[in-house]
Chains A and B, each alone.
Chain A
Amino acid sequence: MDPFAVLGLDDTADDAAVRAAYLRALQTSPPDRDPEGFQRIRAAYEALRDAESRMDLRLFGPAPLADLTELLEAFPEERRYVGPTPWLNLLREPRR
C-alpha cells in the first residue's frame, strides 16, 4: 500500500537506495517461496524505481482503495508484552 514502507525506505530515497532495498527485500520474499510477498515488493519497486515514478506517486498518489478494510494490511496483528501489572489490575476491578 505504501511502497516506501514495503521496501523500508524513507521518501527521500534515490534510485540506488530503492534498488538496494528491492534486492534486500527479495532475499526475504523470493518469488518461489513467497509469491504474495514478492508481488507486493515488485509493485512497490515499480512505483519507486525512478525519479519520475516517485514524482508521480508524490503528486498523484495514492490511489483510493476499493475496499476500506484493505487499510488493515498495513497493521499486522500484534501481541505485545505488557508485563503482569495490567493483568493483575484487571482482577482488582469489580466485575460488571
Chain B
Amino acid sequence: MSQPRKHQRRGKSARPVAVARPEDWPARIQTLLANGKSRDAVEAAKQYLKHAPGPEAEALALQAYLARISALQGNGLHREAQAIGALVNERFPAHKAQVALLMQQSDVATGQFDSLLTALVTAEGQQRRALEAILSRGLTDPALLAAAPALPPEHPLKQTAQTVSELFAAVTSGPLPPGALAALDAIPRSSPLAPWKLLIRGFEAFYRRADETALANLKAIPADTAPGRLAQVLRRLLGATDLPAGPAGAAAALLSQVSGVRPLLETHLAQLSQALMDRNERRAMSAVQALLPLLQTASRALRSTFIISVLHHWYRQNLSPQPLLRLLPSTKRDPDILRLLALTLERPIWDEALEFWYSYVREATATGLLPRTGPERARVLLHMASIFPPEAETVFDLLAVDSEQELRQAIRVGDLPMYFDRGALLEQALAADPSSNVFRALVDHYEKWGDPKRAEAEAETWRRAHPQELEPLLHLIRVTERRGAVRKALNYLADAEAIDRVHPAVRQSRFRLLLAGAERRLKEHKAALARDDLRQLAQEPRANEGDHQVYLLALALLAAQQQGDTTATEHYIPLLQQAAANPVLQQLTLESISTTLKLPPPAAAPGKPSAAQILDGVARACDLFRALERPLTLSPALQKHVEQHLKSASAAQLHALCTGALWLQRPALAYHAAGQGLRLHDPLAYRFLLARGRALGMSYDFNVAERARACLRAARELASRMRDMDAVREASEALATIPHWDMFNAMLHGGPAALEEPPLTQEDITQLMAREGQSRSTPHFPAAPGNRKRRQPSQRRRPRRLLDDLFSMLPLEEFF
C-alpha cells in the first residue's frame, strides 16, 4: 500500500489527506465515500490502514476499494476496475467472494462471460435475477453472448441473443421488411436482452421517421445499460434537448456519420449569423473557417451563394474585408470569386467593383469561362457600364478630370486604369455583340456624357445595322429636330412611318415635327405656310389630346396676327378662349410661344384672374408645355402667386405643378406644391414624396441631402407597393445623384461603407410624411439652376488598387 501512486489524477487533483488524529480517519473516509470521492477515499483508507492497522481499518479499505471499482465500472473503465479487483483479491483474500460478485460486471463488459453464464445456467430465484441484472448492465454486444461457449446451443438466452444480434445488424444497415421485428415479441421484459429489444424497435422507428414511437421505446431503456448509452445518441439525433452537453469523440463522429453535415452546418451557420449581428469579427472568421470544409462537397452554385451571402453581410456590418478574403478559397485568379466580390461591392463602391469586374473579364477570358466575343461578353461589359454613377459630372469629379476626352487622355498615359472609360467599355460590348441593347446603351452614353454628334453617328450606325427597328429612327428624329434639321427629321419620320405608321411614338414624332415646322415658318414670318401646316396638324389624332388644341389655336391666332388677317384673328380669339376656358392658360400660352419664336408680345389680358384661375392655368400650362416639350415662360411673380395659394389646389393640380416645376427646374415651386400635396393624405402621396425629394436634391443646403434621401427612399418604397415601376425607377435614379454622407464618412474613416441602408418601416414613412407636410421653411434653392459650375476637386483622388493591395500580401499557392 505504500507503493508510489500508479494512477495520477487527471482533472481535479487529489488533495493530500491531512488528518491529524487516527480516530478522525473513519469519519473522514465515510464522508469521502458518501460524496462519491472514491479515489480520495481509497487514499485515505490506505493511510489509515498504515497508521492504525486492524479489522476496522481493513473493513474501511475494502469498502473504499469496492466503491472505487463500482465508480470505474460506471464510467466504462472495466479494465481498470479488473486491475483493482485483482489487487484487492491479493491484499484481502478473505473477501474474495465479495469482490468476485462485483467483478462479474466488468467480466461481462469485456466479453468474459464464462463464470457468470456457468452460474446462471443453474442459478435460481434471487441469485438468478442478480446475475441477469449484471448481464443486462454489462452486455455491450449481443453477438458475444450468442457465441459464448459456457451456454449450451439450445439455451433460450443464447438463441435470443443470436436473434437480437442479427436484428441489430439488420436495423442499422438498411430498411427492414414488414414484420421483421416479430421475433422480438417473444423476449420478456425481465430478460437481460430486453433493453436491446427496445433499442432495436427504437432504431426501426427512427429510420421509418416515426419519431414519437422511437422516443417512447428509447426512453424505456434503463440508462445504466449498454443500450441506454446508444439510446442517448439516437435521442440526440431526434432532437432531444434534455441530454448532457454536446457529444464528443466516437459519439460526435457517429452523429455526423448518421445525419450528414446538416447538424454541424446548422450550428456553425447560427454562430456565424450571431457573430455578424454582434459584429464580432473573430467569431465570424472562426465560423467561416469551420463552414468552408463542410461546403467543399456542395454544388458550385451553393458555394457561390454562401460566399456572396457572407460577403454581403460582412460589408453590411462594416467589418474589415481583408481577413475574410484571406480565408476565402480563392486567389486573385479565380474568376468566380472576383465576380462575387464585384457584385458585392458595386452598390457601395462602384469604382472598386469595376476593378473586380475588369479582373473577372481578364481571368474568365484567360480560362475560357467567358467567350472573347458574343452576347455574354457584351452583357458583362454593359453591366460594368451600368454601375457608373448616372451623371457624368459625378464620375469626372471622382476621377479629377473635366471631360471624357481628358479621361481618355489620363487612361492613355497610364494615370487611370482603362475600365474607367465607360464609352470604351460600351464600344467593346458593341464589338462583341452589335445588338440593339448595346447600341441603345452606347447612344444613351454619348447623349448623356455630352457628345451629341457621336450619339447621332452611333444611332445612324444602329439604324443601318437594324433597318427594320423603329428605335434608332425615333432617336434620330428627335436629335435632328433638336438641332433644327427638320427636313432630315422628316426623312427619318418617313422611314419610321414605312415601318409602322400607327405606332404611338411615330404619331407623336409626326405631331411634334409638324408643330416644329409650323413654328419655324412663323418664326421666319411665313405665316401663310404656317397656317397651312396648322390646318394639316388639326387633322392629326393627337391634336385633340389634352390642351393641344389651345396650343394650336394660339399658334393660328399669332399667324393670323402676323399676316394682319383681322377676320381670322377675330375668328380665332373666341375659339381660343373657349378651348382654354381659362385666361391665365390662354395668356401663358400666347406669351410663351411669342417669347420662343421672338414674336411681338401679345396684349395683356383684360381684368384680374382669380386665384383659382391662376392655379388651374399654371397647372394646365405645365402639363401642356411638358407634353409638347416646349419652353414655358413662367414669371417669378406668377410663380410666387401660385406658391401663396397652393392651399386651394386640388391633388391633380398639385401633381401637375410638381412635375411641371421640376421640368422647368423651379425646385422651390415643386417643394411647396409637394409639401401641400403631403398634407392632403392623397393615395398618390408617394408622387409628392418623390417630387419633394427631387426638389430637395436640387438645394444648395448641405444639410438637406439626408432629407432628400429619406423622401426618395420612402417614395420608392411606397411606389413599389403600388407597383408604379416608373416612379420606382425615377426615385432610384434621383437617389443615385444625391450623396450618401454616411457612406462617405465610412469611406473617409477607412472602413467599408454600409452596403444598404436599413429598410424603412411604415412608421418611419408615416412620420416622414407628417414631418415634411408640416415643414414650412424653404431651403436655399439655386436661382438659375442648370448654370452651376462643377466644383473643382482640391486634390486628385486616384482609385484605390484594392485588388492588388489585398492579394499582394498573400501566398497565392495556399488557395485554390
In the complex, A92→B311 CA distance in Å? 45
Asked whether, in the complex, the Cβ of B173 is within 8 Å of the Cβ of A55, the reply is no
Query: Does any Cβ of A come within 8 Å of B313's Cβ?
Result: yes
Question: What are the interface flags for B222-245 relative to A under an 8 Å C-beta threshold, 1 for contact and 0 otherwise?
Answer: 000010011001000100000000
Per the bound structure, the CA–CA distance linking A76 and B261 in Å amounts to 10
Contact B383 A60 (CB under 8 A): yes
User: Measured between alpha carbons, how far is A1 from B302 in the docked complex, in Å?
Assistant: 8
Question: For chain A residues 81-95, which have a beta carbon within 8 Å of chain B?
Answer: 81-84, 86-95
B 269-327 contacts with A by CB, 8 A: 269-270, 272-273, 276, 298-302, 304-306, 308-313
Q: How far is the CB of B207 from chain A (nearest CB, A)?
A: 6
With A5-B299, A59-B339, A71-B265 as known contacts, state yes or no: A79 contacts B207, CB within 8 Å.
Answer: yes
With known contacts A82-B254, A84-B172, A91-B230, A69–B269 Cβ distance under 8 A: yes
- Chain B neighbourhood of A62, CB < 8 A: 301, 304-305, 308
Indicate the size class of the contact surface on chain B.
35 or more
In the complex, what residue of chain A is closest to B109 when comparing beta carbons?
A91
Q: Are B169 and A83 in contact (CB under 8 A)?
A: yes
Bound together, the chains give a CA A62 to CA B77 distance in angstroms of: 53
The reply to whether A86 and B379 form a contact with Cβ atoms under 8 Å apart is no
Residue B683 CB within 8 A of the other chain: no
- Residues of chain B with a CB closer than 8 A to A95's CB: 74-76, 229
Say yes or no: is A72 at the interface (Cβ < 8 Å to chain B): yes
> What are 28 inter-chain pairs, A to B, with CB distance below 8 A?
A1-B305, A5-B299, A11-B301, A56-B379, A60-B343, A64-B308, A67-B273, A68-B273, A68-B309, A68-B310, A68-B313, A74-B298, A75-B261, A75-B262, A76-B262, A78-B260, A79-B259, A80-B259, A86-B257, A87-B230, A87-B254, A89-B250, A91-B141, A93-B76, A93-B251, A95-B74, A95-B76, A96-B248
Residue of B77, B141, B257 near A94 (CB, 8 A) is B77
Docked pose: A64 CA to B276 CA in angstroms: 15
What A residues does B311 contact at CB under 8 A? 64
B322 CB, nearest partner CB in chain A, Å = 20
8 new A-B contacts, CB < 8 A, other than A83-B172, A86-B253, are A2-B301, A78-B262, A80-B260, A90-B229, A90-B254, A91-B76, A91-B230, A94-B75
> From A65, which residue of chain B is reached at the shortest CB distance?
B309
Tell me whether B148 is interfacial, beta carbon within 8 Å: no
Consensus secondary structure, chain B interface: helix
Kindly state the separation between the CA atoms of A68 and B376 in the bound complex, as whole angstroms.
Answer: 30
Residues of the B chain whose Cβ atoms lie less than 8 Å from the Cβ of A56: 379
A32 to chain B, nearest CB (A): 25
Q: Establish whether residues B265 and A75, one from each chain, have CB atoms under 8 Å apart when the complex forms.
A: yes
Which residue on B lies nearest to A89, using beta carbons?
B250
* Cross-chain contact B269 with A72 (CB below 8 angstroms): yes
Q: How far is the CB of A58 from chain B (nearest CB, A)?
A: 8
- Chain A residues near B141: list those with CB within 8 A: 88, 91
CB-nearest residue of chain B to A93? B250
Contact A64/B312 with A88-B140, A90-B254, A95-B229 known, Cβ cut-off 8 Å: yes
In angstroms, how far is the closest chain A Cβ from the Cβ of B400?
Answer: 30
Closest A residue, CB atoms, query B258: A80
> A35 to B305, alpha carbons, bound, how many Å?
24
Question: How distant is the Cα of A49 from the Cα of B410 in the complex, in angstroms?
Answer: 44
**Is B375 close to A, CB under 8 A?**
yes
Q: Does B681 contact A (CB under 8 A)?
A: no
* A91-B266 contact given A79-B209, A82-B258, CB 8 Å threshold: no
CB distance from B304 to the nearest CB of A (A): 6
- Cβ B302 vs Cβ A74 within 8 A: yes
Give A75's nearest chain B residue, CB to CB. Answer: B262
Q: Please report B residues at the A interface, Cβ cutoff 8 Å.
A: 74-77, 140-141, 168-169, 172-174, 206-207, 209, 226, 229-230, 233, 237, 248-251, 253-254, 257-262, 265-266, 269-270, 272-273, 276, 298-302, 304-306, 308-313, 339, 343-344, 375-376, 379-380, 383
How far is A72 from B735 in the complex, measured between Cα atoms in Å?
36
Question: Is there contact, CB below 8 Å, between B173 and A83?
Answer: yes
State whether B248 touches A69 (Cβ < 8 A).
Answer: no
Expressed in whole angstroms, the Cα–Cα distance for A40 and B224 within the complex equals 48
- Is the CB–CB distance between A84 and B173 below 8 Å? yes
User: Which single residue of chain B is at the shortest CB-CB distance from A90?
Assistant: B250
B262 to A, closest residue via Cβ: A75
Asked if A72 meets B248 with Cβ closer than 8 Å, knowing A78-B259, A90-B230, the reply is no
Residues on B with C-beta less than 8 A from A88 are 140-141
Selected contact of B375 from candidates A55, A65, A86, A91, CB within 8 Å = A55
- Candidates A58, A72, A89; contact of B266 at CB < 8 Å: A72
Residues of A within 8 A of B230 (CB): 87, 90-91
Contact in complex: A68, B383 (CB < 8 Å): no
**In the complex, per-residue mask of A24-62: 1 if CB is within 8 Å of any chain B CB, else 0:** 000000000000000000000000000010011011111
Asked if A81 meets B207 with Cβ closer than 8 Å, knowing A59-B339, A60-B343, A62-B305, the reply is: yes
Chain A residues near B248 (CB, 8 Å)? 96
Is the CB–CB distance between A55 and B379 below 8 Å?
Answer: yes
* A71-B265, A81-B174, A88-B140 known; A93+B249 contact, CB < 8 A: yes
Bound Cα distance A58, B380 (Å): 11
B229 and A79: CB pair below 8 A?
no
With A and B bound together, what is the CA distance between A82 and B261 in angstroms? 15
C-alpha spacing A72/B168, complex, angstroms = 32
Cα A65 to Cα B303 in complex, Å, equals: 12
* Nearest neighbor of B276 in chain A, beta-carbon distance: A68
Q: How far is the CB of B108 from chain A (nearest CB, A)?
A: 12
**Within 8 Å CB of B76, what residues of A?**
91, 93-95
Chain B residues near A69 (CB, 8 Å)? Answer: 266, 269-270, 273
Q: Within the assembled complex, what's the spacing in Å between the Cα atoms of A80 and B173?
A: 9
B306 neighbours in A (Cβ, 8 Å): 71
Chain B residues near A68 (CB-CB < 8 A): 269, 272-273, 276, 309-310, 313
Given the interface pairs A2-B302, A84-B173, A96-B249, the reply to whether A79 lies near B308 with Cβ below 8 Å is no
CB-CB nearest 7 A-B residue pairs: A64-B312, A2-B301, A78-B260, A91-B140, A65-B309, A95-B76, A64-B309
